[in-house]
Amino acid sequence: MKCQTLFVVAYFLEAWGFPREYVMETLREAHTSGMAKGNIEVGFQCIVLCDIFAQNSGYPLGPIDKSGTELIQQLHLYNVDSVLAQLTASRLSLLCLLGKEKVD
């Protein structure tokens, strides 16, 4: 329950008024808690949202691309297709901005 509570607090409350580093730290803590307790889908959802939040809040795109690539590999390993679909969709704009994909 801790990871779901932290997810809701970070994404729906803190994201509107707290510094971005604080929000991302809460999402990372939620990921760690979810993975430790076996709530793998929500744990991965938290770290994917951390990646998406970093992209949307102006962090450098190179490190976000690298962490996203690593997340894709982990999601394939754990067969968490619902979260993989969310990450893949969010990465399209990132890859276009980096020049790795063309805008259709």
* Residue-wise pLDDT tens digits, 2-61: 889 999 999 899 989 999 999 999 999 999 999 999 999 999 999 999 999 999 898 999
Query: Token pair for residue 1?
Result: 């329950």
Through-space distance between the first and last CA atoms of the chain, rounded to whole angstroms: 41
* Residue-wise pLDDT tens digits, 50-92: 999 999 898 999 999 999 999 999 999 999 999 999 999 999 9
- Coil, helix or strand at residue 27: helix
* Tokens 């994404």 belong to residue: 11
